A and B are shown apart, each in its own frame.
Chain A
Amino acid sequence: MPGNGTPAEGNNAQKHWNLLASKSRRNRRVKDASLFAFLIAASIPIIIPYFWLLTLAFSAGREGVDTRVLWPSIFILVPAVVLTWVWATIADTRRRAMTGWGVIWAVAIAVYAIFLGPELHLYNFRFLLNPDFNAAYTDIVAAKDNPGFSVTSFPSVWTAFWNSLFIAGVSTVIVIFAASLAGYYISRFQYRFRETSLAAMLVLHAFPTTVLLIPIFLVIWKIGLLDTLFGIVLVIVGIELPFAVFIMKGFFDAVPWEIEMSALTDGATRRQAFYKVVLPQVTNGMIAVSVFVFIRGWEEFIFVLTLLATNAKWTMSLYTFFVTEETNLGIDYGVVSAVAVFYIMPSFLLYTIAQKYLLQMSVGGIKG
């Protein structure tokens, strides 16, 4: 019996407990490690291409695509990652784990720098500074193959960047504003056809939007918004709004009536109660919806391709597309990869930063 035996027995009992505790710690680590290993294995088919893109962006030259850097990189990184896990299961204190990881990664980076350092360069990112980054080369190629042909002239990538930012940003602001008000109304008020309209909204979201390509083109043309950024904004808002409303309604449903009633008796008007008491409870939902709409606008391709014409209106998606198209004429894959990396970066950052809120979306959005 621990506690009431001789000191020796007490010691033994303590050892026994320590043993059990370390066993459970070990179990937990093994479990964590295997879970991560599984997740990584499952995502390798996606990660490898992205990783390849990344290595190309920082290493490829005009010679074309190769895996010269990819495989050595994997050869160095994978063992480093594996060692990190293994060490996580072995190390018995947090401090030792940290030290071990430090050593592993210092070595990995050093090896990488020695073997692959000379291969890496930023030359592919020259498009960021010089809109005419390939002019000399493409002109030669084009002139050789079909005389008199003039290559698409590229706008500065920053024009495309700001256009995309404008489309994504303005769509987000409009959607979040409208969806908050509409979601609140639907959540709080009883009106005729409430259930039906909710169901209809979901069905709208279920249709592939590409089927609307021609009707939308005609509408946008008729109202004179063809080849304008705002036309694209309207389309994205129209497509994203129903689902956004639905998600926001879910978040508002989770806000108890009573805090609103309380605000009313405390002297607030209905509008003040909404802004001061209800809205702060759904900020997570607003952030989540904003991120999704923003990324949707950032990624939009098919409608910008259809509705925008002049290259001063290009978005990042069009820019990337045309850079790729140009490869027919012999453009190098290094630049294509670099543009892709540049294009992906904002989405990636946004997802990473807002991850916490995105995960809550399912919580807020389930109830009908």
Chain B
Amino acid sequence: MATIEFRGINKKFGDETIIPEMNLKIDDGEFVALLGPSGCGKSTTLFMLAGIYLPTDGELLFDGARVNEVEARDRNVGIVFQSYALYPHMTVAKNIAFPLRFKKTPEAEINRRVKEAAELVRVGELLERRPEQLSGGQQQRVALARALVKDPALLLLDEPLSNLDATLRLAMRTEIKALQERLKVTTVLVTHDQIEATTMADRIVCMHAGKIEQIGTPDDLYKRPATRFVAEFVGSPPINTFQGAAADGVVELGGARLAISGGANGPVYVGLRPEHLFFADGGIPAKIVQHEPMGREILYVCDTPLGMVRILEAAATASQSIGSETHFGFDSAHSLVFESASENLIGNARVSAIESGS
């Protein structure tokens, strides 16, 4: 078990800076998700933790000790790759036993631990198969067993669920989470899927172009996104953002005027989540152009003076059809305002409908 710390970590490939400066602390036994779009440097971060890539600058600390130069094999890190990276020429049992071969573990103990690890992820019956004879889900479990068999101080998961079908992904999500809670191993999960991150992790590190945008609990990221990027990346269906200019407590968004509080002034972005919008008799006019049933809810896309707006409504009370003209209102308490230049959240700014008469 270990605590991890990135202190001013910088990573370049040649002249290209992938990670300008990263500062991050991960507690012992914590489950952290690195969340971000493709190419933002998540795998690079993970490979630095594993000892495969050397940080260009900065310090990487395990339990307070600098490990920058420590070889991958001496770090006691278990890793599950996106492609699982099982050794094609070895049986499942040999795959799982591989990490123990380098530690002078007695044969009897190797067998015992391989069995144990295989049972843990429920591949006990597949030990004599070869990787190509396994389904994607089974390969994933074997990769997990191989990562866990050496009792790693740190478990790294690089998009472990992205090759699985939807049902299996749901099952593995729960399973990995339960396993991590039981083993209490410090875990870093890399994913571009916000649902995966929010359901599994204790804390989420949201990354964008090599920079950390926000570190927080899933709830923090959803309710108080630090930047416009986080607001747009977290939440499904995605948030509506509108660009406008605020002055004297009023913000102009497209053809609509809204009241704005919290001292916001100058150009801003206003964010309203689809689930915080609702149809009403009065308010901002909207014309339904599209509707997407999503099971429990229906997502409407509406043409409004603010531009195209996504509105979520419970399927049970669905009232709109394509082409109908109506109005919508929003929940002011959940509105988000970001400064335009820095894209940072203005903490206590809210928008609300202008009271008639003012």
Shortest A189–chain B CB gap in Å is 14
A262→B73 CA distance, assembly (Å): 10
Known: A261-B52, A280-B89. A268 touches B73 (CB 8 A): yes
| Pairwise interchain contact A272-B78, C-beta atoms closer than 8 A | no
Shortest B92–chain A CB gap in Å is 15
| Interfacial chain B residues near A280, Cβ < 8 Å | 87, 89
Known: A266-B146, A267-B73, A268-B73. A258 touches B85 (CB 8 A): yes
| Pairwise interchain contact A261-B102, C-beta atoms closer than 8 A | no
| Pairwise interchain contact A267-B85, C-beta atoms closer than 8 A | no
Shortest B160–chain A CB gap in Å is 13
| Pairwise interchain contact B73-A256, C-beta atoms closer than 8 A | no
| Interfacial chain A residues near B327, Cβ < 8 Å | none
| Interfacial chain A residues near B89, Cβ < 8 Å | 280-281
| Pairwise interchain contact A258-B81, C-beta atoms closer than 8 A | yes
| Interfacial chain A residues near B71, Cβ < 8 Å | 264, 269
Q: A268's contact among B82, B83, B102, B150, by CB below 8 Å, is which?
A: B102
Instruction: Render B80-101 as a binary contact track against A, CB cut-off 8 A, 1 for contact.
Output: 0111011111000000001101
| Interfacial chain B residues near A263, Cβ < 8 Å | 87, 98
| Pairwise interchain contact A256-B99, C-beta atoms closer than 8 A | no
| Pairwise interchain contact A272-B85, C-beta atoms closer than 8 A | no
| Pairwise interchain contact B87-A265, C-beta atoms closer than 8 A | no
| Pairwise interchain contact B87-A267, C-beta atoms closer than 8 A | no
| Pairwise interchain contact A266-B102, C-beta atoms closer than 8 A | yes
| Pairwise interchain contact A281-B83, C-beta atoms closer than 8 A | no
| Interfacial chain A residues near B146, Cβ < 8 Å | 262, 266
Query: Does B225 count as interface, using CB distance less than 8 angstroms?
Result: no
8 Å CB contacts to B: which residues of A239-269? Answer: 256, 258-259, 261-269
A186→B40 CA distance, assembly (Å): 28
Nearest B residue to A283 via CB reads B89
| Pairwise interchain contact A261-B50, C-beta atoms closer than 8 A | yes
Q: B85's contact among A261, A268, A269, by CB below 8 Å, is which?
A: A261
Q: A265's contact among B77, B82, B86, B88, by CB below 8 Å, is which?
A: B77
* Residue among B72, B98, B99, B146 facing the most chain A CB atoms (10 A cut-off): B72
A261→B71 CA distance, assembly (Å): 12
| Interfacial chain B residues near A266, Cβ < 8 Å | 73, 98-99, 102, 146, 150
Instruction: Render B40-51 as a binary contact track against A, CB cut-off 8 A, 1 for contact.
Output: 000000010011
Query: Does B224 count as interface, using CB distance less than 8 angstroms?
Result: no
Query: Does A165 count as interface, using CB distance less than 8 angstroms?
Result: no
Known: A265-B72, A265-B77. A259 touches B102 (CB 8 A): no
Query: Does B75 count as interface, using CB distance less than 8 angstroms?
Result: yes
A266→B101 CA distance, assembly (Å): 9
Shortest B221–chain A CB gap in Å is 29
Shortest B54–chain A CB gap in Å is 13
Query: Does B157 count as interface, using CB distance less than 8 angstroms?
Result: no
Shortest B351–chain A CB gap in Å is 47
Query: Does B103 count as interface, using CB distance less than 8 angstroms?
Result: yes
| Pairwise interchain contact A262-B79, C-beta atoms closer than 8 A | yes
Binding site for B on A (CB under 8 A): 256, 258-259, 261-269, 272, 277, 280-281
Closest 9 CB pairs of A and B: A267-B102, A258-B85, A266-B99, A262-B85, A280-B89, A264-B72, A267-B73, A258-B81, A259-B85
Between A and B, 14 residue pairs with Cβ closer than 8 Å are A258-B83, A258-B85, A259-B85, A261-B50, A262-B81, A262-B87, A264-B50, A264-B71, A265-B75, A265-B77, A266-B73, A266-B98, A267-B99, A267-B101
Given contacts A265-B51, A267-B102, 18 further A-B contacts (CB under 8 A): A258-B82, A259-B85, A259-B86, A261-B47, A261-B79, A261-B85, A262-B79, A264-B50, A264-B52, A264-B73, A265-B50, A265-B72, A266-B73, A266-B99, A267-B73, A267-B99, A267-B103, A281-B88
